[in-house]
Each structure stands twice: as structure tokens, then as C-alpha cells.
Amino acid sequence: AQQRRTLIAGNWKMNGSLSANSALLGELSGASIASACEVLVCVPFVYIPQCEVFLAKTQIAFGAQDVSPHQSGAYTGEISPAMLADFSCKYAIVGHSERRAYHHESNELVAQKALQSLRSNIYPIVCVGETLEQREAGKTNEVVVAQLQAVMDVLDEGALARIVVAYEPVWAIGTGKTATPEMAQDVHAVLRKTLAVRSDFAAEKVRILYGGSMKPENAKELLAMPDIDGGLIGGASLKAVDFLSIVAAA
Ligand code: PEP
């Protein structure tokens, strides 16, 4: 919306294989993307070099789905932001609800991942969102503001302006249930106001994506809302036709 460039980001999650990815990346890179929006795929770490090859001469960017909060050292199994940058990776999702839930990631850990990513010029896509229980208890705003605030606490104004936020209600992820455009807009507006308390510049700059069962049928109305600046797309990013029709709706 407004002067922010729309971002349509796919999150493949733990899906794909060299051969399946070749087909998908081939279809994506062969498509003529008429829309002015930025297109991104976030893939499992091991497929980042494949993206670097396949997407080199295209306008499609690629990113990781997580990143270490450290730059190097004795952190077995971790991948640092500098390593991602070595492969022309531009973005990393941090704090996805699946990582918060299954890997017990705290708001503070997510904030460190965002901070360290920016130090290597990787843009963090900071995911926030409430569970169904939290929504029903009327705690949605409180939860998402605390999640965003932890990241704001470790970034200066310039760094804050370079993050992307993704509002992903946990009850809408992979369930087929989507927030209505009005429900999503309400939370996006709260998030932007939270950014503005710290910096009007960052609040104007930061793109806030919606995620949670976004698909070709509902993308247009969600993306029409003033504070929804793009989408983070799980399931529908695995099929080129679906992903491209969301891009076309943007
Ligand atoms: C996600 O995992 O970020 C997501 C939004 O998934 P889905 O689109 O499948 O709900």
C-alpha cells in the first residue's frame, strides 16, 4: 500500500527436492511478472545455492526460513547470516510460529536473529501472530505488540526501517481459515502504530505482510487494505500457478 513496494513471499517450509524445485523455479522464472511487486521465495537452507543458480537472471529474490542469532563460532548445526549473504540470499524469515511453537523460540531470540541478519544485510521477515486461544481471550494486540516490541528494543531507527513484519495469525496458518481483510487490517494498523511510537520514518517504510491461508481467491481483497503491504504464502507457494496468480493480484 501507498509508497511501499508490495512484497509477495513464498515460504516453502520443509518441502521440495532438487528435481521438484527445478520444475517450480523453472516455471516461476519463465513467467512474465507484470506486477510491480517484489517476488521472493524462502526455501530450505540446502536449496539456497540452487536458487542462486536458477534465479540469477530473474527478478525473483530468494531467502532462508530461519537464521542463527550468531555470526560464527561453536554453534553446531546453525547457519549464520554471513553465510546466507555469501549466496546472494536477501531475506530470512525469523520467528515463524512453527519455530516459536516447535523450537521454543522466545521474542528475545527472534530479536537477536533480526539484529544479526541486518548486520549481514539480510532483511529479516519478523513473524508475529496470536493463537486461537489468545484471540478468543482478547489478547491479540497485546501478543503481537510484545513480539514486535522485542525486535524494536534491539534495533536503532535505521535498522528498524529495514525489517519486514509478517502478521500471521497462528489459527490461519495451513488451516484454510483466513482472517477477513478487516480483521487483518486492524492488527496491521496496530503494528504500524507501534512502529510509529518509535519512528514515523520506520512506520512509513516497513512492509507488513499478511500470512495465513492466503490464496488466489482471497489475495486481492487482503492486499487492497491500506496497511497490508504483501503476503507470506505457505501452501499456495508450492504451486507455480497459485503463487503467480497471487503475484498477479498484487
Ligand atoms: C506460513 O507458513 O507462513 C503460511 C502463511 O502458511 P499457509 O499459507 O499455508 O497458511
- Render pLDDT for 157-208 as a digit per residue (tens, 0 to 9): 999 999 999 999 999 998 988 899 999 999 999 999 999 999 999 999 999 9
188 is catalytic: no
Give this complex's ipTM: 0.96
Residue 3: per-residue pLDDT: 82
Residue 2: per-residue pLDDT: 59
Residue 164: per-residue pLDDT: 98
Instruction: State the Cα–Cα distance between residues 173 and 121, nearest whole angstrom.
Output: 28
Q: Domain map of the chain by residue range?
A: 7-249
Residue whose CA is closest, atom 4 of ligand 1?
A: 234
Instruction: Name the pTM for this structure.
Output: 0.97
Instruction: State the Cα–Cα distance between residues 122 and 119, nearest whole angstrom.
Output: 7
- Which entry of 38, 96, 105, 130 is annotated as an active-site residue? 96
108 is catalytic: no
Ligand 1 centroid from CA 232, angstroms: 7
Q: Which residues of the chain have pLDDT under 50?
A: none
Residue 32: per-residue pLDDT: 85
**What residues contact 248, with CB distance under 8 A and at least 6 apart?**
34, 35
CATH topology of domain 7-249: TIM Barrel (3.20.20)
Query: Could you give the C-alpha distances from 159 to 47, 189, 197, in angstroms and in order?
Result: 28, 21, 15
Do residues 132 and 175 lie in contact, with contact meaning Cβ atoms separated by under 8 Å? no
